[in-house]
Copies of this chain bind each other. A is one copy, B any other.
Amino acid sequence: MAEPLPDLIQEIVSDNSTDDTGAVLDAIVSQDDVAVATLLESVPVEPRLSLWQDLPSERKLDVLVEMRSDPREILIDATEEEEWSALFSDIEAEELLELMDSLPNRLVDLAYAELDAQQQTFFREATQFNDDQVGHWLTHDLLVLPLNAKVRDGLRLIRRNVPRHCDTIFLVNRSGQFSAVVRLTRIFGSPEHVPLVELIEENIPVLKGSDESTNASLQVQRSGFAALPVVDDSNKLLGRLDITSASELINEFYERQVMATAGMDEDEDLFSPVAKSARNRAVWLGINLLTAFLASWFIGLFEATLQQVVALAVLMPIVASMGGIAGSQTLTLIVRGLALGQVTKANTRALMVKELKVGGVNGVIWALIIGVVAYFWFTDVLIGVVICLAILFNIVAAAIAGVFVPVILDKLKIDPALSGSVILTTVTDIVGFVAFLGLGTLFLL
């Protein structure tokens, strides 16, 4: 069995003695491409580059394909100019499509020139689509037969070669339009003279090249087939989306969601160079700073009040924080619903009502608890009343914002997973501070 990844990371990171470099390298090379890619992403830049130098040339392209963009680009930058021709010698359209965003244009051109005519066509076809469309991620290894083919023809085709993750033969009509699908397993059991049209699958979903890739990938995952056919607008067969590509697209989609909550993207490198990483994150910090200054400006409106009732300054963060947490719960639920297509125009209203009720219940409960604690802390009934009302108000506002912010962002085609939380927190901060300090000014001065 292959050596576990943590041990290899340990050996690469800890080891500067060159005694058993050979042994470590052998252990690494014996891993599959994904494992080597993961390993390269898991070590700092220096050992990463030296490992990259030592990696057998014939593995390099396959490993690059499996890496995230950011760590990959470091290796691409460090690769000698004259090495590329060799690396590209066996490149295929699908690999170039995966790599092209990381490669400088001249290298894309160089790689393109290495493709044969067929692969060049595939590449050009795929680049007609955006990378969030199915057409960009097609597999072109197909089993295709004309509509009038028989089981005999099917068996002959299968005996020659069956591509990976391919469990069907596609039937096309004379003009190359997609017509139907036959499972390979139905062919094995049938007499040779039976026409394939008698064995076709009903109700198989057919994807379009222009379909959004995440939803299409979910369709593949749940179809029970290893791949679904993909056609263009005139029903011409373009290729298929197989379950490996579908799974990768879905994993990327989820990683994007997770990383977006902190204003990063899924390609962020664990060990990116400090300057690059600082720059990536600075944008998000800057946006946050603007909203924080905005909140402070609102607080500043109540300077006179704060000066007289310092307890307000002490308790202020509690109001903002409870609103932020309550809002982020609603937001997270709605963002997931939008991403999975479960939140639509039709049920937004019903969701709003439900979230308002949940916010109302939690608002009342926590407002009372916090009010009582604040009363005992500062032995002042009015402070208790003021924070109680402010909390209730802010949690309800958070529920409203938690539904509306992502729904509106989604309608504006802005990713709510990325910008939702920063807008929501701005709302709950400002509403919280203004409600609390405003009520404080009314009741306590």
User: Is A92 among interface residues, defined by CB-CB distance under 8 A?
Assistant: no
B296-A317 in contact (CB<8A): yes
Q: Which 6 pairs between the two chains have the least Cβ-Cβ distance?
A: A254-B254, A10-B346, A313-B313, A262-B332, A162-B185, A278-B361
B362-A281 in contact (CB<8A): yes
A270-B342 in contact (CB<8A): yes
A 277-314 to B, binary, CB cutoff 8 A, 1 in contact else 0: 11001101110110011011001100100110011011
User: Is A73 among interface residues, defined by CB-CB distance under 8 A?
Assistant: no
Of A37-45, A114-122, A406-414, the segment with at least 4 beta carbons within 8 Å of chain B is A37-45
A322-B292 in contact (CB<8A): yes
A277 interface neighbour in B164, B313, B354, Cβ under 8 Å: B354
A196–chain B nearest beta-carbon distance, Å = 16
B9-A347 in contact (CB<8A): yes
A285–chain B nearest beta-carbon distance, Å = 6
Residues in B whose Cβ lies below 8 Å from that of A78: none
Of A18-26, A55-63, A221-229, the segment with at least 4 beta carbons within 8 Å of chain B is A221-229
User: Is A340 among interface residues, defined by CB-CB distance under 8 A?
Assistant: yes
Please, how many angstroms separate the alpha-carbon atoms of A226 and B259 in the complex?
A: 29
- With A293-B318, A296-B318, A318-B293 known as contacts, the answer to whether A344 contacts B10 (CB < 8 A) is yes
Number of interface residues of A (CB under 8 A): 111
Q: What are 28 A-B interface contacts by the 8 Å CB criterion? A: A5-B344, A6-B345, A9-B344, A9-B346, A9-B347, A38-B340, A41-B342, A43-B347, A159-B189, A161-B189, A162-B188, A247-B247, A255-B336, A258-B261, A259-B333, A259-B336, A261-B328, A262-B328, A263-B329, A264-B332, A271-B350, A274-B361, A278-B362, A288-B325, A289-B318, A293-B318, A293-B373, A306-B314
User: Is A110 among interface residues, defined by CB-CB distance under 8 A?
Assistant: no
Please, how many angstroms separate the alpha-carbon atoms of A268 and B314 in the complex?
A: 34
Contact residues, A12-69 vs B (CB, 8 A): 13-14, 32, 34, 38, 41-44
Contact residues, A109-147 vs B (CB, 8 A): none
A345 interface neighbour in B10, B295, B342, Cβ under 8 Å: B10
B44-A285 in contact (CB<8A): no
Please, how many angstroms separate the alpha-carbon atoms of A369 and B159 in the complex?
A: 69
Contact residues, A312-360 vs B (CB, 8 A): 313-318, 320-322, 325-326, 328-329, 331-333, 336-337, 340-347, 350-351, 354, 357-358
A325 interface neighbour in B285, B326, B370, Cβ under 8 Å: B285
Residues in B whose Cβ lies below 8 Å from that of A281: 326, 329, 358, 362
Residues of A within 8 A of B (CB): 5-6, 9-10, 13-14, 32, 34, 38, 41-44, 155, 158-162, 164-165, 167, 184-185, 188-189, 203, 221-222, 224, 226, 243-244, 247-248, 250-251, 254-255, 257-259, 261-264, 268, 270-271, 274-275, 277-278, 281-282, 284-286, 288-289, 292-293, 295-296, 299-300, 303, 306-307, 310-311, 313-318, 320-322, 325-326, 328-329, 331-333, 336-337, 340-347, 350-351, 354, 357-358, 361-362, 365-366, 369-370, 373, 429, 433
A26–chain B nearest beta-carbon distance, Å = 15
- With A226-B226, A342-B270, A343-B270 known as contacts, the answer to whether A261 contacts B332 (CB < 8 A) is yes
A6 interface neighbour in B167, B318, B346, B433, Cβ under 8 Å: B346
Please, how many angstroms separate the alpha-carbon atoms of A288 and B326 in the complex?
A: 10
B42-A332 in contact (CB<8A): no
Please, how many angstroms separate the alpha-carbon atoms of A427 and B68 in the complex?
A: 31
